[in-house]
Copies of this chain bind each other. A is one copy, B any other.
Amino acid sequence: MREDNIIREEDYVLLVLDDKRRWIVKAKAGGSFHTHKGIVKFDDLLGQEFGTSVKSTGDRELAVFRPTIADMALLKMMRSTQIIYPKDSAMIVIQCGIGPGSKVVEAGTGSGSLTSMVANYVRPTGRVYSYEARKEFLDTARKNLELAGVSECVEIKNADITQGIAEKDVDAVILDLATPWLIVQLAWEALKGSGVLSSYSPTIEQTQKTVKEASKDDLFGDIQTYECFVRKILVREGKTRPETFMVGHTGYMTFARKLNKNSRQTNQTNFPAFAKL
């Protein structure tokens, strides 16, 4: 994060017209941004402090904020592939015990939205190894990581994670893949003891297969699956009410902690596991 709070060339700014109409754009001297309520000239912003406002040529006032990682994820990265919502990535970061210094394996990179979130919280000494087999995503992902300001903590690997994980003793393995169950054994090998496997899947069948695989031979213990709902409340004088439509489902999040081999050898049957409960 920069020391001062001044909007400069090449900075991303969040323009807010109202609840629904909001954009993240890069400020360029001489440039402008077109909304259906008129044009915003970047020269009106440059040199101002974030938190200022600006008038469009259509005489509408827009607030000018500094975008957060969550804004980036929602507004900037969602174009290329399915993104993970901030509500879910927040839970993943916290349930995985991720913090500054954490060493994390992640797959697939996709547009880099979850990667950015995780990378933001391992800074400055941690590292994210992000696997993506599909070449066509790499450019977008790299651009988005730069945009989020976390490039130096991320190593994007153009590799199929089902073919192996090179890293060892990692703190967490975070999966957002169509077939996460294929990676469970590899994740176990990559994790340190007590390290967390996290898997995010839209369907219950993906979740079932992954939980089943994770509980096999007591590879993992304390296996938990959650779904998270967020509802917006419209707080308005005399007419406060929740928003009519909400996102009712994004994905199921599964978390599991690595059990060491010695425990598993001497004890095949005592942990809470898929097959036994």
B102 adjacent to A1 (CB under 8 Å): yes
Question: Is A204's CB within 8 Å of the partner chain B?
Answer: yes
A231-266 Cβ-contact flags toward B at 8 Å (1 or 0): 111111111111111111110101001111011001
Q: Count the copies.
A: 4
Within 8 A of B (CB), among A126-171: 169, 171
A269 closest partner in B (C-beta)? B61
In the assembled complex, A47 has its CB within 8 A of some CB on chain B: no
- Within the assembled complex, what's the spacing in Å between the Cα atoms of A151 and B22? 38
Question: Shortest Cβ distance from A205 into chain B, in angstroms?
Answer: 5
Residues of B with C-beta under 8 A to A117: 94
Q: In the complex, what distance in Å separates the CA atom of A224 from the CA atom of B241?
A: 13
Check A124–B124 contact: CB distance below 8 A.
yes
Contacting residues, chain B, for A42 (C-beta < 8 A) = none
Task: Verify if A33 is at the interface (C-beta below 8 Å from B).
Answer: no
Name the B residues within 8 Å of A93 (CB-CB).
Answer: 90, 94
The DSSP consensus for interface residues of chain A is mixed
Q: What is the number of residues of chain A that contact chain B, defined by CB distance less than 8 Å?
A: 103
Known: A61-B271, A248-B243, A270-B60. A66 touches B226 (CB 8 A): no
Give chain B residues whose Cβ lies under 8 Å from the Cβ of A230. 91, 226-229
10 extra A-B contacts, CB within 8 A, seeds A49-B193, A65-B222: A49-B192, A52-B260, A53-B221, A66-B97, A66-B194, A226-B232, A226-B233, A231-B249, A235-B274, A244-B249
Task: Please report A residues at the B interface, Cβ cutoff 8 Å.
Answer: 1, 5, 16, 18-19, 22, 49-53, 55, 60-61, 63-66, 68-71, 86-87, 89-91, 93-97, 99-102, 117, 120-121, 123-125, 169, 171, 192-196, 202-205, 207-208, 211-212, 221-250, 252, 254, 257-260, 262-263, 266-267, 270-272, 274-275, 277
Q: What would be 18 A-B contacts, judged by CB atoms less than 8 Å apart?
A: A50-B193, A51-B263, A52-B262, A53-B259, A63-B221, A63-B222, A63-B263, A65-B222, A87-B228, A100-B121, A205-B239, A205-B240, A208-B237, A225-B234, A228-B228, A231-B249, A237-B274, A245-B247
